[in-house]
Structure 1
Amino acid sequence: SILGFSDEADKLAVEVMMHQYYRYSLALNELNDLLMLLFNEIIIDSQQPQQISSINQHFQRCNDYLEIKQPDLFEHTPSAMLEVFYTLACDDSLKGVRANTIRALRDNRHAIDDNFRSDPDNIRSFMAIIRNPQHLVRELGRMLRYGILGQYIPEFGGIIGHMQHDLFHSYTIDQHSLRAIKFMRKLRFDEHKETFPQASKLIDRISKKDILYLAALLHDVGKALPGEHEITGSEIAHNFCIHHGLGQIDADLVVWLVRNHLLFSQASQRIDIADPDAMHHFATQIGDRRHLEYLYVFSVADIYSTNKKLWTSWRAEQMRTLYKATRNILRRGLDNPVNKEQWVEEIQQSVIERLKAHGYQEQEVFNLWANPGDEYFLRESVDTLVWHALALFDHGSSDKPLVLISDTSDVTFEGATQVFIYMKNQPHLFAAMTAALDQLHLNIQDARIITSQNNNALDTYIVLDENGEPISEPARLKKIKITLEKTLANPAEYSELIQRRTSRQLKQFEFKPIVNLSNDPFNKRSCLEVIAPDRPGLLARMGKLFMEYELSLDTAKILTEGEKVDDIFYLKDKNGQPISDPDFCRELQDAVIETLTEQVELQATL
């Protein structure tokens, strides 16, 4: 027990404490609103004559504040409580609510029960607020502060003040939900159109924005209940939509968004976008362009309103790329998948045509590539392949490692910095590269490991700096290049490079690593997923482990979420096949857990 709080079945003691803290904070905000309005009315406005005019049968305007005409209005007409917020949403000239009206709301909000929620007039009033074109977010926030929103949607009331003790979620769940709606509304403004061009373009095309707002309001209500919150939340959303008279098509879309609100963001970090089979499977999950557009906008809003730091330039690029690739598949039709071999051939011919302008012939180009496999051409763009080829022709037969750092990354285009290395493949290569990049304070977002038929490594690492941005300073780019060339000259000595300390903040979060091993049916390889505390040197330790177990790495998807990493490694055994021996699988999983635990313990001593 800490400060009188203890761990519960689904909450840490600190989460219980902070839940209570935020609840009290909300109550104090309500009291503060009431007192400040009261002081204003008694002290400041008392010096001036009251200007009162009727708004409707229930409300009047008093010095530009909404006021109930009768003190007992909500007692005999409870439905007028929702009318307060609808009236405010529709009238720009009203500054807020009079103190006596707030007191009346506080005293009568207990009357919002099942009978109240089933009243057609109240249902119409709530949906009118949701569909208000001007002040939806402001009035939802006011409803939250005055205890009306949580009373009207009890499941939402359960998440008010609910927080998660991690570095991933910056806000309580209720505030996150309202911020997501606010973000969607702001996509219309020029500032957001520049930062979120694709989402801003789509929001103008979406006619029924209330579907997005309802999904945002309800998408996390399941977090206060047992079970997977997406499934629980979708069941709540289904009942809510039917109860509130949404048509079947619109209700189905709200439910689908709530159930799948993590699908797009997770796929953008995990799926191999260059893999036609994996992309076709994802497009099948989406179904059609309408669902794609709604889910893309929702996913951007969900990520940004969870934690602004999560919206890195690389994540933005991945999200947009996945959206466009999925849109193209849906345009072509799910019954007309891409022919992988034809796609590779078209890419190769496009590169060869570009290289002919530099004086290189087709056979020279194929000799240079030395059959790196289809994955190389599927994962890289034509521009990148041309860039690689020109550098490799210049490099010639030199035995020195070639290190290229892309200078095309630009914050304006929300990209990342691309590091390409070419040299004879060696067992320590991945471990040495990840250790060196870690020591340079670079965060790896993606690793594409390619080995040609003549045992040359053509590896690409996508990196961001410690602030989640591409590297643009010439001096730093030069330092990175020199450091990597020195490291790759003798990769077996990589272990000496792991010296960076764990921040004091990250040291507060420790948990046992989680390791899952499965087989990828599309590409005949094994998929190793690792969830562990974020610590410097983890990737280097993983690289060493792969070397010890004679595993070859195809691709790595690196994802850091707050205090933890959720990395995926696509592996093959020494025979180029998926890992199939059950005993070997268990041994590998145990070794990964032991290795990562040792790294966490080592960092704790630094």
Structure 2
Amino acid sequence: MSKIKGQRAIIHRKAIIARLDELSAEDLPKNKRRMKALEIFKQVLASGRAEVRARFDAHGDGTATVRENCLLIDQLVRLVHDYACDREFPQGVRTAGETMSLVAVGGYGRGELSPHSDIDLLFLLPYKRMPYHEQVVEFILYMLWDMGLKVGHSTRSAEDCVRNAKADLTVRTALLEMRWLWGDQALFEDLRTRYRAEIITGTAEAFVESKLAERDSRHSSMGDSRYVLEPNVKEGKGGLRDLHTLYWIAKYVYRVENVAELAEKGIISRPAARRFAKAQAFLWAVRCHLHYLTDRPEDRLTFDVQPEIAVRMHYADRACSRGVERFMKHYFLIAKDVGDLTRLFCAVTEETFKTKPRRLQLGRLFSRRTIVGGFQLEGGRLDVCAQNQFETDPVGMIRLFHTALEHGVDIHPHALDLVHRNLKRIDAGMRNDPAANRLFVEMLTSRKNPEVALRHMNEAGVLGRFIPDFGRVVAQMQYDMYHVYTVDEHTVQALGILHAIERGDLKDEAPTSSEVIHQVVSRRALFVAVFCHDIAKGRGGDHSTLGAEVVMKLGPRFGLTDEETESAAWLVREHLSMSRVAFKRDIDDSKTISDFVALVQSPERLRLLLCLTVADIRAVGPTVWNAWKAGLLRELYSRALEVMTGGLSGTARAARIKAAQDALRSELFKLSWPPEDIEAHIARGYSTYWTTFDTPIHLRHARLVREAEAVRAPLTVEPRVDSHRAVTEIIVYTGDHPGLFSQIAGAMAVSGANIVDAKIITLANGMALDTFCIQDSDGGAFDSPAKLAKLATCVEQVLSGRTRLDRELAARKGKLPSRAHVFKVPPRVLVDNMPSRSHTVVEVNGRDRPGLLYDITNAMTNVGLQISSAHISTYGERVVDVFYVKDVFGHKIEHGRKLDQIKAALLAALEDPAAKAAAKTGDGTKAAE
């Protein structure tokens, strides 16, 4: 490790001692002298930190910065210790029992301190605590605390340390990194000797097991994916803590002081050691930037800090990608490298414990070696038969993953390391090799889970080399609050979901696609389309169109027929069409269905598109898919299929309506409803009502309407918390009138609720039965009883005219979650008369904020529009709201000036109140000047 340059610029020990000597020479009371000493130490800390920060701002080297921070604290602790012993509690002769050693432990012991990291100190005593020890330890700690440092500490003897280390893995790990700091060095050496003899000896295997189990638990709690878009630099998968785990294992098992020594001893390769150092340096730089930028010990790389850190680390915007996206792509590639190093090191460690392999559960173990598909089973995992196997047979790299998938075995990290070293052999010749492509397509379309093989191929770097178009989206983030994973991770998960649909694992969540997937003829085209649906993201232009062009090139290479290639290309080109129609158009409008049928053209394409759409949406994130979206897609599929199969008369739809009504009749009969009440309720619903909801929701509505009608309640508000979707569903039953939707939306905004979905229903009795899905400002379910009570009261007061919405909302506007402010969504209003024969369709795009839906719908009411149906969609920070409207006379709006008036009013409603207020302030300032 190189020596820190210019140490005295960070902290000048002799100069500080001179200042403290001058202070001691002054005739001052003890308390005043302590306060002046504290001021000196504070100045030293501040100036040292400023110097380290200036150096970091100049060179951006995180590795140097954490060492320089450590140097500063080392010298400061030593100075405080000496001041305490020599000036505050001087002793002429110190007994053996009063000696003490200061020991740095944990990350501080490793010699690494981020700008806002805690300091872990061990005050090591000979055997028992003496009054003198208590005085010195207390003085040191209070001085450090008063300087603003966060200090974790313990005061123990070597015997205490050994006993605690045997019982507690955390203590054992902290002591593993102990470093003598100051004081009696013999005490420290005694502890280190005892630690090695009494703790490490004979326990290495158990320690490795425990640390890997601890790592797995941490990964699970952090989401168990290194591709989440707001990663934790320290604790997340592929982060610094994973590197620390490797370091701990190396030090415990191989008695080395750093990873470079592992390479020197031949335990790992020198390239692997260099990758470790490179990954650690990058992660340290990111963490230092995080701490300096937020001015706190922040380890989450959240959306609001990512752009600034990208600028500070010199990631510039390019033609087809933003600097922040390039920075995050590099981050994810580094996290992937950390995963590769982990697998490799686990294999090396397993070899160390070869005599007792079953206890170290790093893979399934077979009793003897077996040759499978040209590879040998080593410890239950697939390994190469020869060190040069991939040099003589590059296609073997594809065959390795194919064999592992077919036989359901893991791949040995040694084989993966060889794959990594031979990636350059995957060239144009191998990409066009028929055998290699056949093996790949067999994996992609396997009845076993293709997600497993493709994830391993992707993490090994094979997938991006074999299919360069896919390599362009590896680790590519989608910089918004909607997508949870990188493009490649989303794609791999989509394939796993498609497999789950085919297996029938998602019958409850996606019943229609689980049924029709077994009717598709072009199964290979479907799986290829799912693999390629986002393959052209980040290139500029429409990724659907560009992706279809990629498929037209890949299809023949994969061995697809012309028909399969054309089908896969069409699916990629139109992979967003079904969700766009289902979620943004009124599927009760006959023109919506006829236009969609004209696009899809055949039942086979319809089935394929449904399956792809479900897999795509379900893979966006764990809370994106829900029963509502499933119902809309199911209804669109059913209506389109009716038209395609000759159901123009609506007979099939009538049968579905009757089936829905009969199902509700049966449930209400079980609840002892009188037949006349059942029929009266069924008569209230128009045909669209019966095809929009399922029986449980129909039943819930029936109960609510009956209870409201029985007491002649003018307003009923009923909540239901859906914890799985992290939303609260609110049903509002009241008399319908112009502006009702806007008033309810405003009341919810005043109550602090954010509407993420809405469905407008008007019954035959003139009553509105509107459903809203709401969340709180943090994106969680709006589930507090107090909040729900306030919401119900607020809706009632607004509808009765007792609350002025404009005044109530003024205080709330502009209050966004901090992360949302970083995203810019250009406002856009589209007014279109083509999608519907009876309505004008208005699509509004903008950045989400509290009260936005109220502003939009209030603007519509003010320009004389009647909202017949609304389709509210929220994609993270972006809203896409579609309204089917008519004018006050019940007609479409076709006059040019009226259309311009609508656009202007809605664009004004989309303006950010905070920006508007800032603009007004600026105007006022200019006027004053």
TM-score range, shorter chain: 0.7 to 0.9
Paired residue type of 1:431: S
Report if the CA contact (8 A) 1:241-1:251 is conserved: yes
Q: Confirm or deny that 1:60 pairs with 2:371.
A: no
Deviation at 1:599, TM superposition (A): 3.4
Aligned to 1:37: 347
Aligned to 1:484: 795
Report if the CA contact (8 A) 1:529-1:568 is conserved: yes
Deviation at 1:387, TM superposition (A): 7.5
Report if the CA contact (8 A) 2:639-2:653 is conserved: no
Report if the CA contact (8 A) 1:313-1:470 is conserved: no
Cα 1:96–1:406 change in 2 (3 A) is closer
Of 510-519 and 456-465, the range deviating more from structure 2: 456-465
Aligned Cα root-mean-square deviation (Å): 4.4
Aligned-partner SS, 1:264:
helix
Of 542-551 and 475-484, the range deviating more from structure 2: 475-484
The separation in 1 between residues aligned to 2:599 and 2:366, in whole angstroms, is: 60
Aligned to 2:26: none
The separation in 1 between residues aligned to 2:792 and 2:742, in whole angstroms, is: 17
Deviation at 1:563, TM superposition (A): 0.7
Cα 1:205–1:483 change in 2 (3 A) is same
Aligned-partner SS, 1:224:
coil
* Aligned with 1:358 (options 676, 679, 683): 676
Deviation at 1:473, TM superposition (A): 9.8
CA deviation string 1:495-532 (max 9, x = no partner)? 24435542222233233312222214533332221111
Report if the CA contact (8 A) 2:642-2:652 is conserved: no
Q: Confirm or deny that 1:403 pairs with 2:719.
A: no
Aligned to 2:316: 6
Paired residue type of 2:313: L
Cα 1:54–1:457 change in 2 (3 A) is closer
Aligned to 1:463: 772
Aligned to 2:135: none
User: Counterparts in 2 of 1:153-232, with a 5 A limit?
Assistant: 153-187=467-501, 192-206=506-520, 209-232=523-546
The separation in 1 between residues aligned to 2:574 and 2:591, in whole angstroms, is: 21
CA deviation string 1:428-448 (max 9, x = no partner)? 533221111334426252343
* Aligned with 1:245 (options 534, 550, 559): 559
Q: Confirm or deny that 1:17 pairs with 2:327.
A: yes
Report if the CA contact (8 A) 1:169-1:307 is conserved: yes
The separation in 1 between residues aligned to 2:618 and 2:682, in whole angstroms, is: 44
Report if the CA contact (8 A) 1:178-1:217 is conserved: yes
* Aligned with 2:421 (options 107, 111, 133): 107
The separation in 1 between residues aligned to 2:568 and 2:747, in whole angstroms, is: 46
Cα 1:575–1:110 change in 2 (3 A) is same
Deviation at 1:490, TM superposition (A): 0.9
Cα 1:604–1:444 change in 2 (3 A) is farther
Cα 1:39–1:207 change in 2 (3 A) is farther
CA deviation string 1:94-135 (max 9, x = no partner)? 432251x33432232222222212222222222222233335
CA deviation string 1:395-416 (max 9, x = no partner)? 77xxx84436498x99999999
* Aligned with 1:585 (options 883, 893, 899): 899
* Aligned with 2:447 (options 133, 143, 147): 133
Of 83-92 and 596-605, the range deviating more from structure 2: 596-605
CA deviation string 1:262-319 (max 9, x = no partner)? 1222222112122233223323433333333332222222112111121234223323
Paired residue type of 2:416: I
Aligned to 1:295: 609
Deviation at 1:175, TM superposition (A): 0.6
Cα 1:279–1:25 change in 2 (3 A) is same
Paired residue type of 1:505: R
Deviation at 1:201, TM superposition (A): 3.5
Deviation at 1:187, TM superposition (A): 3.5
Deviation at 1:190, TM superposition (A): 7.4
Deviation at 1:88, TM superposition (A): 1.4
Paired residue type of 2:339: N
The separation in 2 between residues aligned to 1:151 and 1:125, in whole angstroms, is: 15
CA deviation string 1:31-73 (max 9, x = no partner)? 33223223322x1227789977452684333333333333333
Report if the CA contact (8 A) 1:538-1:599 is conserved: no
Q: How many residue pairs end up in the alignment? A: 585
CA deviation string 1:116-175 (max 9, x = no partner)? 122222222222222333353222112112211111111000000100111111111001
User: Which runs of 5 or more residues in structure 1 are unaligned?
Assistant: none
Of 306-315 and 477-486, the range deviating more from structure 2: 477-486
Paired residue type of 1:44: F
Cα 1:158–1:598 change in 2 (3 A) is closer
Cα 1:340–1:171 change in 2 (3 A) is closer
Report if the CA contact (8 A) 2:631-2:692 is conserved: no
Q: Confirm or deny that 1:86 pairs with 2:402.
A: yes
If the length of structure 2 is used for normalisation, what is the TM-score? 0.55
Aligned-partner SS, 1:592:
helix
The separation in 2 between residues aligned to 1:284 and 1:565, in whole angstroms, is: 28
Of 489-498 and 152-161, the range deviating more from structure 2: 489-498
Aligned-partner SS, 2:676:
coil
User: Counterparts in 2 of 1:343-354, with a 5 A limit?
Assistant: none
Cα 1:154–1:603 change in 2 (3 A) is farther
Aligned-partner SS, 1:358:
helix
Aligned to 1:438: 749
Aligned-partner SS, 2:833:
strand
The sequence identity of aligned pairs, in percent, is 23
Aligned-partner SS, 1:226:
coil
The separation in 2 between residues aligned to 1:534 and 1:380, in whole angstroms, is: 27
Deviation at 1:565, TM superposition (A): 0.6
The separation in 1 between residues aligned to 2:605 and 2:714, in whole angstroms, is: 46
Paired residue type of 1:97: H
Report if the CA contact (8 A) 1:435-1:540 is conserved: yes
The separation in 1 between residues aligned to 2:837 and 2:898, in whole angstroms, is: 20
If the length of structure 1 is used for normalisation, what is the TM-score? 0.82
Larger Rg: 2
Cα 1:591–1:232 change in 2 (3 A) is same
The separation in 2 between residues aligned to 1:201 and 1:411, in whole angstroms, is: 27
Aligned-partner SS, 2:633:
helix
Cα 1:223–1:502 change in 2 (3 A) is same
User: Counterparts in 2 of 1:498-513, with a 5 A limit?
Assistant: 498=809, 500=812, 501-513=815-827
Report if the CA contact (8 A) 1:314-1:414 is conserved: no
Aligned to 1:74: 390
Report if the CA contact (8 A) 1:112-1:151 is conserved: yes
Aligned to 1:95: 410
Deviation at 1:254, TM superposition (A): 2.0
The separation in 1 between residues aligned to 2:653 and 2:426, in whole angstroms, is: 63
* Aligned with 2:864 (options 547, 550, 574): 550
Aligned-partner SS, 1:45:
coil
Report if the CA contact (8 A) 2:444-2:527 is conserved: yes
User: Which runs of 5 or more residues in structure 2 are unaligned?
Assistant: 1-310, 358-364, 920-929
Deviation at 1:222, TM superposition (A): 0.9
The separation in 2 between residues aligned to 1:425 and 1:599, in whole angstroms, is: 28
Q: Confirm or deny that 1:448 pairs with 2:760.
A: yes
User: Counterparts in 2 of 1:358-437, with a 5 A limit?
Assistant: 358=676, 401-403=714-716, 405=718, 417=729, 419-423=731-735, 425-426=737-738, 428-437=739-748
